[in-house]
Every structure is written in structure tokens, then in C-alpha cells.
Chains A and B, each alone.
Chain A
Amino acid sequence: MDRVPVLKLGDVLIVSIQVDLQDQGVLALQEDLADAVVATGARGVIIDITAVEIVDSFIGRMLATIASISRMLDAETVVVGMRPAVAITLVELGLSLGGVRTALNLEKGVALLNSSEDTQIAAAAR
């Protein structure tokens, strides 16, 4: 079974989903990601779904679950690269992914995490 690799870049973990995930794959990814967040002490998780063309409520729930798990471990989740068709489908399904931050592409996602970390540090220093 394919496992989705979890990449580490500085304080941020990057997961790029390139295949159609099945239930087993999603559970494995959630475990891997939770382990990786704890092991590396990452402060941000970026899930790149640029390659995902077909979504259902299952994928929507997966994203929300990963975001919840990461938040428990004090890491912020950003979903990046969502295609227009995917966004429309999720809205039609009634999934608004509350609590998940989104960005247009990986670059903007990293910038978003960095800026929010900056504000956290600035707030703590004051």
C-alpha cells in the first residue's frame, strides 16, 4: 500500500497528496503525521492537494480531522492548492472546512504560517 510521505522543511511539515486515498491510506497518513509532528516539534502542517481532482465528503472529513489532530499537537494546518472544481464540489457538499486555513499555493501557505508565527512571537514579547 502506498504511504504518503511527510516532508520536513524547517518548522513546517509538508504533505503532498498525489494519489486517490482510500480509508486505509488516510488512517496511515493521520498516524504518520501525528508521529511526525511530535517527533519534529513542527509548528505548521501544510497539506498540498494540487493533484487531487476528485473529492467527496470523505476527503473533506479527512482534512478536518488532520487539522484537529495537528491543533491538539500545537501545529497549525494550512490546506493549499485546492482546484476550483474541488472547491465548488466541497461547497456543494456543504463542507466549509471550518478551522482549516487555506492558501492558493504552497508558497503562500508557507508565507501564511510564517506570518502567523511572527505575530505569535511578537505577542509573546510584548
Chain B
Amino acid sequence: MGVTLTVQPDAGRRRIEELLRQNEDRVLKRWLEITAAVSAGQADRDDTAARLPEIYQALRQSFTGEENLSDLHGLLAELSRSRARQGFSPAETANAVFGLKEALYEVVEDDGTPEALRGFIWFSKIIDDLGLFTFETYAAAREKIIIDQAEQLLELSTPVVKLWEGIVAVPLIGTLDSARTQVVMEKLLQALVETGSEHAVIDITGVPAVDTQVAQHLLKTVMAARLMGAECVISGIRPQIAHTIVTLGIEFGDIVTKASLADALAHALRRSGVEVAGSRRTRVALRTEEA
């Protein structure tokens, strides 16, 4: 059997091409039904239904020459990208392509000639390749979505806010890793230059855990700010975090640390020559020392 396959692949191939041409409506209709059944409950059946005839035509074109394959690949990539965005599972996406195999098989069965059966094996291999291609595109599209979201998250999570003339603050929220610290550091230093601030408050109330690496990142940020001529205060250290830091033996050296953002602001105001009157828990009145 295998020998005949390699000797006469063209006959089977021609037969399949013929069948695809003659039974176009029937195969297409069946394919649509199968695809719809696979992705039952999803809202965009119309979208896929519109794409399948195009793909069908492109597939037939692709038999005529290698250069036409890019058309087919383009259409399939579009299909899997849109499916990835709409939240289909990879299996559903690949099955949309594999459905064609099933649809054609019914035609081949009716035809019943040995050429058609041999050709079907060849055809099945092509569809498998296309299915894998769809899968790859799907995965790539998903990956891109994840990367985009991570970038957006990075932008969202690192605002630099101005608290007072000459005092800026960075409220850090979420886990700190090297990439995020790099962004925070750059943004903070840039803000120091732009606003001409000599005091910065790094608030780590929203940081769930501090390990040696996070502490190292914080220290680096403070050192960099110092090199530029600005002083940093680290605030928002929760009791557990203070405990962890001491247990780990991390030395913050001469860097000022405060329990709350309010304390850090009061410290920065004092350092920049603003006098804070009144006791801490009553209303705070402020005046600048000199105009």
C-alpha cells in the first residue's frame, strides 16, 4: 500500500482536487456545520462562516502552486488571531480547520475509488499541517496579548505624584521585580529632574513582600537619587515587613525609613524648610519659612 502511495501520488491528488471542485457546495456546507458544532455556544459563528469559503478557495488555489500558499496562510492566521482574541480555546480553533477533513471524507466515501482514498491521505496530511500552523499562530497571538497586558500593567502601576513643591512620591503597588524596579527608578529620577525636587518618598505600603532582592532594588534607587542630589525616604513599612527585613539582616544604612506616608511627608517638609505647626493628630497648619 505504501509503495503504491509513493509511486502514484499524483492520481490521488488529482482526484481529490476534482472532488473538491465538483462538490464545493456540499463540502463547504458540511464544514460549516461541523465548525459550528465544535464551537457551539460561541457568539461569532457568523464571523467564522464568512471566513471559511475564502479559506476554501485559497486552499484550492494553493494546490496549483507553492506561491499561493501564502494567501492561505494569511487567511488562516487571521482566523486564529481573531479566535485568540475572542477567547476560543486552541482546540476549537484547530478543530475548525480539521473539520474540513471530516467534511471531505464523506464525499470521498461516496466516491469510493481507491485513488480518492489514497488522495485523501495526502489531503489529510496537508490539513494537519494547516491545523498546526493555526495552532502556532493562535499561540503567538495569545502571547502577544499577554505581553501587551504586562506592558500596560507596568505603565499603570508606577505613577510619580507630586506631594509638595520639591517633594515627589512613588506609591509602589504589587510585587517588585528587576524590570519593574528599573521602570520605577527611571521614572522617579526623571521626575526629580523635571520637577527639580530634592526630596522623594518611596511608599511600599502596597508591596506584599520584601526580600533581599527587592531591598537591593530599593537601595539602588535611593543611591541613584542621591547621586543626582535628591534625598529619598522609604515609607509604608508594615510590621511584618519590618520583621522580615531585620530577620534577613538587610541594612538600610543611613536611609531614612518611616512607618507611614504621612510621617515621610512631614520629614520631607521639615527637611525642605517648611514648618509644620500643631501636634501630629490635630489639624496641620503649614507655612513656608521665607517667601
* A interface list, Cβ under 8 A from B: 79-80, 82-88, 90-92, 96-97, 101-105, 108-109, 112
Contacts and interface: CB of A to CB of B under 8 A. Distances in A.
Interface stretch (B12-20, B24-32, B84-92, B224-232): B224-232
Nearest to B187: A84
Contacts of A97: 227
A96 B185 contact: no
Among B190, B193, B196, B225, residue most surrounded by chain A Cβ atoms (within 10 Å): B193
Given A84-B189, A88-B189, A104 B227 contact: no
Contact of A90 (B182, B196, B224, B229): B224
23 contacts: A82-B227, A82-B228, A84-B186, A84-B192, A84-B193, A84-B228, A85-B186, A87-B225, A88-B182, A88-B186, A88-B189, A88-B224, A90-B224, A91-B227, A96-B223, A101-B229, A102-B227, A102-B228, A104-B193, A104-B196, A105-B196, A108-B196, A108-B229
Contacts of B223: 91, 96
B270 to A, nearest CB: 16
A91 B185 CA distance: 11
Interface residues of B, number: 19
Contacts of B198: 104, 108
A63 to B, nearest CB: 10
Interface string B187-231: 001101100111000000000000000000000100111111110
Contacts of A90: 224, 227
B196 A87 contact: no
Contact of B224 (A91, A108, A109, A112): A91
Contacts of A96: 223, 226-227
A78 B253 CA distance: 22
A2 B12 CA distance: 81
Contacts of B197: 104
Contacts of B226: 96, 102
Contacts of A92: 220
A115 B15 CA distance: 94
Nearest to A90: B227
Given A91-B223, A104-B198, A83 B193 contact: yes
